[in-house]
Amino acid sequence: MRGSRQYSLGQMARYLLVLFVILSAVSFFISNWLLVKTTDDLALLEEDHEQLNDQYEMMLGTQNLYKNELDQLSVSLSRVASQRDKLQAENIRMGDKLYEGNNRLGELSATLDASLNGLETLLNVEPSGDMSPERLESLTMMANQRLFMLNSIPNGLPIQAMRINDSYGMRMHPIHKKRVMHRGIDYKAEKGTPVYSTADGVVEYAGNRGDGYGVQVVILHGFGFKTNYSHLNNTEVSSGEFVHKGQKIAESGNTGRSTGAHLHYEVRHLYSTLNPAPFVAWNIANFDSIFTTVKSVKWASLKNLYPLNQTIQP
C-alpha cells in the first residue's frame, strides 16, 4: 500500500510538472506576442506623435514666423530700394563718371530682385517678373492683409497632441453607444498639456456649465467666428479677458463626459459648427484654400471691409 501511494504521488507530481511546463510555455508565448504587439503600437504612437509634433511646430501659435520674415524682408527691401533709387539718381546726375556706382547699383538691384522672389515664395504667389518698388509695396500689403485675417479667424493647432482620436462628423458615442454628430476634433493629450488660442479674441466663457463639456473656454473672434476648448483640467483666462493668437489659455484634462484625457476643439461661425480641419491646416502660404474649402461662410462680402478693401496690384 505504501509503495502504491508513493507511485501515485510521484505520478501526480509528474503530471503537475508537465502542466506547469505547458502553462509556462503558453504564458511565455502570449507574453512575447503581447510584447511585440505593444512595441508595434508604441512605434505607431511615436510616429503619430512625431507627425503631429511637426504639424504643431509648423502651425501652432501666432504667425510670428511669417511676420518676422516679412518684417525683415520689408526693412531690407526698403533699405535696398532706397539706396538703389538714390544711387540711380546720382548716376543720372553725374553721368558716366560713376562706373563703380553703376556696379553697386547692379548689386543692389540683384539683392532687391532676390528679396522680392523670397517674398513671393513666402506668400505662394506666381512670380511676376516685376521687381519694382511698387511690386514690393503690393506684396507687403498682401502679406499684412493675410496676417490680419490669420490673427482674426481661427487657424493652426490648439494643442501639441499625441494624435487625433475623433474627427468632425458622425461617430459612435463612446459613452452613450449610439451614432451621434461629433461637432469638433478630439486631440489625445496627457493631462496638463498646454492649450492655446487659435486667434485673437475675447473670452466669452471660462468654467464648467455642467453640460457635459466639463471645464471649457469659449472665445469670440473676428468676423463672427468662435472657438470652444473643452474637457480641460483648468483654465488660465477669465470671462471678458482679451487673448491673442498663440496665448496659453488652459491645460487639457478629463472633465465632463469624457473617457480619457484629451482636448475637444470646435470652430463655429454664428450659430453653426464647422469642421475645424480646414482651419487647422490654414496658413499664409495656402491662404486662398479656406475660401473654397469652407463654402458655408459668405466670404465674398469680406472684400468690402477695411483693410481688406485696400487695392493690391496683381
Range 159-182 average pLDDT: 80
The residue segments making up the domain with residue 271 are: 163-281
> What is residue 105's predicted lDDT score, i.e. its pLDDT?
46
Stronger pLDDT, 202 or 39, i.e. the higher one: 202
Residue 64 belongs to a domain: no
Return the CATH number at 226: 2.70.70.10
Tell how strand 179-182 and strand 185-188 pair up: unpaired
Residue 169 belongs to a domain: yes
> What is residue 23's predicted lDDT score, i.e. its pLDDT?
76
Residue 309 belongs to a domain: no
Residue 189 belongs to a domain: yes
Residue 78 has pLDDT above 80, yes or no: no
d(CA 169, CA 179) in angstroms, rounded, equals 10
Residue 21 has pLDDT above 50, yes or no: yes
Residue 271 belongs to a domain: yes
- Whether the Cβ atoms of residue 228 and residue 218 lie closer than 8 Å to each other: yes
Number of domains making up the chain: 1
Range 17-39 average pLDDT: 71
Residue 250 belongs to a domain: yes
Integer angstrom CA distances of residue 155 from 13, 147, 225, 288: 70, 11, 11, 13
> What is residue 210's predicted lDDT score, i.e. its pLDDT?
93
Closest to 311 measured CA to CA, from 113, 145, 124: 145
Range 19-44 average pLDDT: 69
Residue 233 belongs to a domain: yes
> What is residue 90's predicted lDDT score, i.e. its pLDDT?
52
Q: Which of 35-49, 59-73, 185-199, 280-294 has the lowest mean pLDDT?
A: 59-73
Residue 182 belongs to a domain: yes
Mean pLDDT in the chain? 79
Q: How would you class 101 by CB atoms within 10 Å of its CB: exposed for 0-12, middle for 13-18, buried for 19 or more?
A: middle
> What is residue 195's predicted lDDT score, i.e. its pLDDT?
97
Integer angstrom CA distances of residue 42 from 34, 162, 212, 260, 291: 12, 11, 31, 18, 38
Stronger pLDDT, 211 or 65, i.e. the higher one: 211
d(CA 236, CA 180) in angstroms, rounded, equals 31
Please report which confidence band the pLDDT of residue 13 belongs to, taking 50, 70 and 90 as the band edges.
confident
> What is residue 62's predicted lDDT score, i.e. its pLDDT?
45
pTM for this one?
Answer: 0.69
Sign of CA dihedral 172, 173, 177, 181: negative
- Whether the Cβ atoms of residue 253 and residue 187 lie closer than 8 Å to each other: no
Integer angstrom CA distances of residue 283 from 29, 92, 148, 157, 305: 50, 44, 12, 11, 21
